[in-house]
Amino acid sequence: MVDRDLTRGAISGHFRALALPAAVGMLFSTLYNVVDVYFAGQISTQAQAGLAVGFQAFFINMAVGFGLGGAMGALVGKAKGGKDEVQARRLAVQGISLGVLLTLGLMLVAVWLGPAMIALVSEPGEYRDAGTSYFRWLIFALPGFLLAYGGNGVLQARGDTKSLQRALMVAFFANVGLNPLFIYGVPGVVPGIGFNGIALSTLCSQTGVMLYIMYQVFGRKIMQGLTWAEFRPDPAVYGVILRQMLPTSLSIAVMFTTGFVIQYYLKEFGGSAVAAYGIALRVEQIMLLPVLGMTGALLPIAAQNFGAEDPARVREAVFFCWKLGFAMMAVACPVLWFGGEWAMGLFTDDAEVIRVGVSYLHVDGFVLPFYMMLFSINSFLQAMQKPIWSLWIGIYRQGIAVALFVWLLVRVFELGIWGVWLGVAIAVISGWGMAMLVASRVARQVIGGLWVRP
């Protein structure tokens, strides 16, 4: 398994090598979720609404995994760029052991926290019960998700995005087969378990992803000859990882909390509105897949060149990411504007669900470029080991701004469901302005500026 040196060679070539496999992997990850939405829709609209609120609660817990993956990508990437393989190994091993401990603790907390969050954003009845049951099954899938993301951070730092791509492709096809098997069973042989079969399918397939990613991590040259003593918690290294991880995890938790703010206001419009939002998010994610792959590739490229003390290549990577991102958005935005109704119709034939989902996608089509910029700035800040700024940006945009602007437009100006969508859009755009100011300041501090002429 050969690592990739991102400190030499064409930046465009590194983006192509890293971003394409990452985007393909994310495509299959999103299609994986699309399969779940489809089978939930075969049961009922209430089941789709339950899937939406249960999935949102579960993903707040996964903020730990995303944060750990980002920390590993930044720290191990910088160590590799600086040619310090001893430190890269130490960080990778300690990151995995920390991930195990955090996962166990989070599973215990999730038993209480998840149902409480679902109750907050739903009305008593069928879709709340479905969401709570779905979440409880998914608690057992947390190790598969969290350790897979943490391990993938190590692989990404070494220039490997293909391993996760392969794992997610296999998981998608497994999910296609396991969903109907667990929902409906085999007539006359094994009974199905209904809606909860969707969660059981996720548990099985995602555990397989985690096992494959760990196999790839421990197959790396820097991990050869490991001893159990190396996994023993080292408070100093744990501290380094946590300082890089916690701001990212907290900012992602705030981001997922935004979904609960939105669902809190949507619940007064009924289960159809909640289901529409859940489906529209899947459509949005498909449009953002190339951008997510590209901005994800920026992290290891910038981190390795930061470790190699080459600020010019860091700046080159950031600007290349932005130029390519705007080209992608020139395609994605019109697709959402003109193809939203067709896309919603793939998942439901409920006219009200389609109408509400299309209204969200029409507004969302205008803010996609701002999402692209925000994602890339977050990757840049992580690579520069300044993740605390991502947290402050997230607290403003996804916490304060969403709650404030949605409240104003729904409660004060009485714009109804359009007030929810427009409030989110205003929060995104104002958050982008804040992020640009922060990125410029951090760049001046660590690489001599972002807008420096070559």
- The boundaries of the domain holding residue 105 are 1-233
Q: What is the pLDDT of residue 433?
A: 96
pTM over 0.75: yes
* Domain-embedded: residue 242: no
Q: Give burial (CB, 10 Å; 0-12/13-18/19+) of 80.
A: buried
Q: What is the pLDDT of residue 408?
A: 95
* Domain-embedded: residue 135: yes
- Are residue 143 and residue 270 in the same domain, yes or no? no
DSSP state letter for 425 = H
Specify the DSSP element, H or E, that contains 45.
helix 45-61
Q: What is the pLDDT of residue 321?
A: 94
* Domain-embedded: residue 58: yes
Residues 6+ apart with CB under 8 A from 392: 438
**Contact status, residue 12 vs residue 156, Cβ threshold 8 Å:** no
Residues 6+ apart with CB under 8 A from 279: 37, 48, 344, 347, 348, 353, 357
The two tokens of residue 125 are 């009845």
- Are residue 229 and residue 337 in the same domain, yes or no? no
Q: What is the pLDDT of residue 129?
A: 84
The candidate with the shortest Cα–Cα distance to 113, out of 75, 82, 139, is 139
Residues 6+ apart with CB under 8 A from 358: 280, 340, 341, 344
What is d(CA 338, CA 345) in angstroms, rounded to the nearest whole number?
13
The residue whose two tokens read 């396991």 is 178
What is d(CA 397, CA 436) in angstroms, rounded to the nearest whole number?
13
- Are residue 273 and residue 199 in the same domain, yes or no? no
Q: What is the pLDDT of residue 114?
A: 80
Q: What is the pLDDT of residue 309?
A: 92
- Are residue 180 and residue 296 in the same domain, yes or no? no
Q: What is the pLDDT of residue 150?
A: 92
**Contact status, residue 278 vs residue 52, Cβ threshold 8 Å:** yes
Q: What is the pLDDT of residue 44?
A: 81
- Are residue 158 and residue 261 in the same domain, yes or no? no
Specify the DSSP element, H or E, that contains 101.
helix 85-120
How many domains does one find in the chain? 2
Give CA torsion, residues 420, 285, 50, 266, to 10 deg: 0
Q: What is the pLDDT of residue 454?
A: 57
Torsion sign (Cα): 266, 267, 268, 272: positive
DSSP state letter for 269 = G
190 has which bridge partners? 186
What is d(CA 219, CA 230) in angstroms, rounded to the nearest whole number?
16
- Are residue 396 and residue 366 in the same domain, yes or no? yes
What is d(CA 150, CA 144) in angstroms, rounded to the nearest whole number?
10
Q: What is the pLDDT of residue 121?
A: 66
* Domain-embedded: residue 391: yes
Per residue of the chain (454 residues), give pLDDT as tens.
557 788 989 999 999 888 888 888 878 887 888 888 888 888 887 887 778 778 777 777 778 888 899 889 889 989 988 888 889 899 999 999 999 999 999 888 888 888 887 887 677 777 788 888 888 888 898 898 899 999 999 998 888 888 988 999 999 999 999 999 999 988 777 888 888 888 899 899 999 999 999 999 998 888 888 889 999 999 999 999 999 898 878 877 776 667 778 878 887 787 788 788 878 887 888 888 788 888 888 989 999 999 999 999 999 999 999 999 999 899 889 988 999 899 999 878 888 889 999 999 999 889 999 999 999 999 999 899 998 898 899 889 988 999 999 999 999 998 989 999 999 999 999 999 999 999 999 999 999 999 876 5
Domain finish residue from 178, 198, 233: 233
Q: Give the distance from CA 355 to its chain's centroid.
A: 27
The candidate with the shortest Cα–Cα distance to 384, out of 90, 99, 149, 77, is 77
Q: What is the pLDDT of residue 1?
A: 53
- Are residue 63 and residue 173 in the same domain, yes or no? yes
3-state helix, strand, coil in the chain (%, to 5): 85, 0, 15
* Domain-embedded: residue 87: yes
Q: Phi-psi bin for 363: left (phi > 0), alpha (psi -120 to 50), beta?
A: alpha
Q: What is the pLDDT of residue 360?
A: 92
**Contact status, residue 43 vs residue 33, Cβ threshold 8 Å:** no
Distance between start and end Cα atoms, the chain? 35
- Are residue 168 and residue 268 in the same domain, yes or no? no
Q: What is the pLDDT of residues 50-99, one digit of tens each?
A: 787 787 777 777 788 888 998 898 899 899 888 888 898 999 999 999 99
